[in-house]
């Protein structure tokens, strides 16, 4: 205690910086997960549209 003053808040600053890093990492993980899920959803929608168009094409060629 003799070598540190009573108003030394370096430990507090370190804790705040660590919390900021953890928060940034958390938001990055959330954004990344949301982005990946969005891309998967778009890819699935496109595949469904392609499947419907392919089925319609097969039905149309069978009837002609």
Q: Specify the pLDDT at position 2.
A: 54
| pLDDT recorded at residue 47 | 98
pLDDT of residue 3: 61
How far is it, in rounded angstroms, from Cα 57 to Cα 62?
9
In angstroms, rounded to a whole number, what is the distance separating the alpha carbons of residues 48 and 53? 9
- pLDDT tens digits for range 2-61: 566 666 778 889 999 999 999 999 999 999 999 999 999 999 999 999 999 999 999 999
What's the pTM value of the predicted model, to 2 decimals?
A: 0.66
Dist CA 59 CA 51 (whole Å):
12
């Amino acid at each position: 205690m003799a070598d540190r003053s009573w108003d030394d808040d370096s430990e507090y600053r370190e804790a705040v910086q660590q919390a900021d890093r953890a928060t940034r990492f958390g938001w990055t993980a959330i954004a990344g997960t949301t982005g990946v899920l969005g891309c998967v959803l778009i890819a699935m929608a496109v595949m469904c549209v392609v499947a419907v168009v392919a089925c319609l094409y097969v039905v149309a060629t069978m009837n002609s």
